[in-house]
């Protein structure tokens, strides 16, 4: 079919999402609806996502998100050509909510069902937003992911490296916690860092001494804890400026690691059409600045999709579903939810 209209469903972490995308071959895809219901309020008191709470909320809200997305798009189920759903990786109870919903809809309507890898959804987003051609290099940096992917096709990814422990977003969140700043840490640490002196505290740049594109961020939070405690031991507490300087030093270390590892990843694939980023951490202006400068130096365009499509959403799942379907891929009603599913 020249025109495909897909419903996408996503519930692998703490966002219940449904979206509708229409794509005419050779033209830019159209996002007809993009509904995301976050669960921040439900988990706020626990300092992290509680899997049982997430799963229950997804199960309660998935149908509503689907109805909202269809109504926003002005379409009914009979106008669709297929249903795409995140089948993993993620919190199993959550993933199941969307998978069960998608299977029910597919069984009731006879519409094709396409299971999508959540990471593939992120990785294919620059094609949805900017029409990138294969191959391109992708850096996924969020609270849960950190990896370099060479994207050669909708089913063809090569992982060049990634974090061997924490994701950078996690490190930002832990830093905020250690300094008494509110969650999510990223935006708050960035705000403080903008007013701080990045040279006062020098944090390690882990794994820069080793070849390759692997990264490590867990040591950074230990270093931050030590630096914080040294200041407290000396002065009996942290001043506003101490906090700003700690944030600035930390952020600079993360940005420096991401820049150098991105330089190596780009050097490993000189034929790419672009360097793209996605994930919540890509919202950080300092990090974005470093990566933009690096791409300029390497002579490739730098692409960062709008934030609402960089973070978890179902538009990316509907789009990845369309791409997979065009390649002849389809799943049966035996599609299973996979908590672990490497690309
Ligand atoms: O992609 P995302 O919304 O969710 C997943 O992790 O899948 O990313 C959220 C993460 C959080 O850890 C948050 O602290 C971080 O992205 N983040 C930032 C910024 N905004 C969000 N980190 C650094 N600077 C920011 N401005
Ligand atoms: Zn994600």
pLDDT per position as a tens digit, 124-156: 999 999 999 999 999 999 988 899 999 999 999
Burial 147-177 (b: 16+ CB within 10 A, else e): bbbbbeebeebeebbbbeebbbbbbbbbbbe
Q: What is the dihedral of CA 161, 166, 167, 173, to 10 degrees?
A: -170
Q: Which atom of ligand 1 is nearest to the CA of 169?
A: 12
Ligand 1 centre to CA of 327 (Å) is 32
70 close to ligand 1 (CB < 6 Angstrom): no
Flag whether pLDDT at 44 surpasses 90. no
| 217 within 8 A of 251, measured Cβ to Cβ | no
Closest Cα to atom 8, ligand 1: which residue? 280
Provide the mean pLDDT of the chain: 95
Confirm or reject: Cβ of 125 under 6 Å from ligand 1. no
The one-character DSSP state at 215 is B
- What is the per-residue pLDDT for 109? 98
Contact 320, 124 (CB under 8 A): yes
Q: What is the mean pLDDT of residues 221-232?
A: 96
Mean pLDDT, range 302-326, rounded to an integer: 96
Closest residue to atom 19 of ligand 1, CA basis: 186
Distance CA 338, CA 25 (A): 31
Q: Which of 186, 254, 283, 315 to mutate to test the pocket of ligand 1 (most atoms within 8 A of CB)?
A: 186
- Ligand 1 centroid to 251 CA: how many Å? 13
pLDDT score for 53? 87
**26 — pLDDT class (breaks 50, 70, 90):** very high
Strand partners, 304: none
Q: How far apart are CA 3 and CA 322, in angstroms?
A: 10
pLDDT band at 14 (very low <50, low <70, confident <90, very high): confident
pLDDT band, residue 290 (cuts 50/70/90)? very high
Residue 86 has pLDDT above 90, yes or no: yes
Is 271 annotated as ligand-binding? no
Give yes or no for a contact between 136 and 273, defined as CB atoms under 8 angstroms apart.
yes
Using DSSP bridges, classify how beta strands 302-303 and 275-278 pair: parallel, antiparallel or unpaired: parallel
SS3 92: helix
Atom of ligand 1 nearest to the CA of 144: 6
Distance 272 CA to ligand 1 centre (A): 26
Tell me which DSSP letter residue 112 carries.
-
C-beta of 305 in contact with ligand 1 (< 6 A): no
This complex has an ipTM of 0.97
pLDDT (0 to 100) of residue 39: 86
Assign 41 a pLDDT band (cuts: 50, 70, 90): confident
Rounded mean pLDDT, 180-187: 91
Instruction: Check whether 141 is labelled as a binding-site residue.
Output: yes
Provide the pLDDT for residue 264: 97
SS3 at position 156: strand
Domains with residue ranges and CATH for the chain: 3-131+309-326 (3.30.420.40), 136-272 (3.30.420.40)
Distance CA 235, CA 169 (A): 30
Q: Highest mean pLDDT: which of 22-26, 280-284, 306-310?
A: 22-26
Q: How far, in Å, is the centroid of ligand 1 from the Cα of 170?
A: 8
pLDDT for the residue 343: 87
For residue 245, the CA-to-ligand 1 centroid distance in Å is 21
How many angstroms separate the alpha carbon of residue 340 from the centre of ligand 2? 14
| Inter-helix orientation angle 92-109/51-73, to 10° | 40
Q: Is 296 annotated for ligand binding?
A: no
Smallest-distance ligand from the CA of 217: 1
Instruction: Determine the pLDDT at residue 88.
Output: 96
Q: Residue 340 in contact with residue 89, Cβ under 8 Å?
A: yes
Q: Is 38 in the pocket of ligand 1 (CB under 6 A)?
A: no
Is pLDDT of 338 > 90?
yes
Residue in 28, 130, 16, 117 with CA at minimum distance from that of residue 67: 16
234 contact partners, CB below 8 Å, separation of at least 6: none
Q: pTM score, two decimals?
A: 0.93
Ligand approaching nearest to the C-alpha of 314:
2
The encoded tokens of residue 313 equal 């959403």
Measured from the Cβ of residue 331, the count of other Cβ atoms closer than 10 Å reads 22
Q: Is 142 annotated as a binding residue?
A: yes
Q: What percent of the chain has pLDDT over 90?
A: 87
């Amino acid at each position: 079919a020249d025109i495909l209209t897909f419903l996408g469903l996503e519930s692998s972490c703490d966002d219940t999402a449904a979206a509708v995308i229409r794509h005419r071959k050779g033209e830019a895809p159209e996002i007809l609806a993009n509904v995301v219901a976050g669960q921040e309020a439900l988990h706020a008191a626990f300092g992290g996502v509680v899997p049982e709470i997430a799963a229950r909320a997804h199960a309660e809200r998935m149908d509503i998100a689907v109805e909202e997305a269809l109504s926003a798009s002005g379409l009914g189920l009979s106008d669709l050509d297929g249903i795409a759903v995140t089948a993993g990786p993620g919190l199993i109870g959550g993933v199941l909510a969307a998978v069960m919903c998608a299977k029910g809809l597919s069984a009731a309507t006879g519409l094709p069902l396409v299971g999508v890898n959540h990471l593939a959804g992120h990785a294919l987003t620059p094609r949805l937003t900017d029409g990138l051609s294969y191959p391109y290099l992708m850096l996924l940096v969020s609270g849960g992911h950190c990896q370099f992917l060479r994207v050669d096709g909708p089913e063809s990814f090569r992982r060049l490296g990634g974090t061997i422990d924490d994701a950078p977003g996690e490190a930002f969140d832990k830093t905020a916690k250690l300094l008494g700043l509110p969650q999510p840490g990223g935006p708050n640490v960035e705000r403080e860092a903008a007013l701080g002196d990045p040279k006062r505290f020098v944090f390690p740049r882990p794994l820069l001494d080793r070849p390759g594109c692997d990264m490590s961020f867990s040591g950074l939070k230990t270093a931050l804890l030590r630096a914080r405690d040294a200041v407290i031991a000396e002065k009996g507490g942290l001043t506003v400026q101490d906090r700003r300087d700690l944030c600035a030093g930390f952020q600079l270390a993360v940005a420096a690691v991401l820049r150098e590892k991105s330089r190596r990843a780009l050097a490993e694939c000189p034929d790419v059409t672009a360097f793209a980023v996605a994930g919540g951490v890509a919202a950080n202006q300092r990090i974005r600045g470093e990566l933009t400068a690096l791409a300029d130096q390497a002579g490739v365009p730098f692409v960062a999709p709008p934030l609402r499509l960089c973070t978890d959403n179902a538009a990316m799942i509907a789009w990845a579903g369309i791409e997979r379907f065009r390649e002849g891929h389809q799943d049966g009603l035996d599609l299973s939810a996979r908590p672990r599913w490497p690309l």
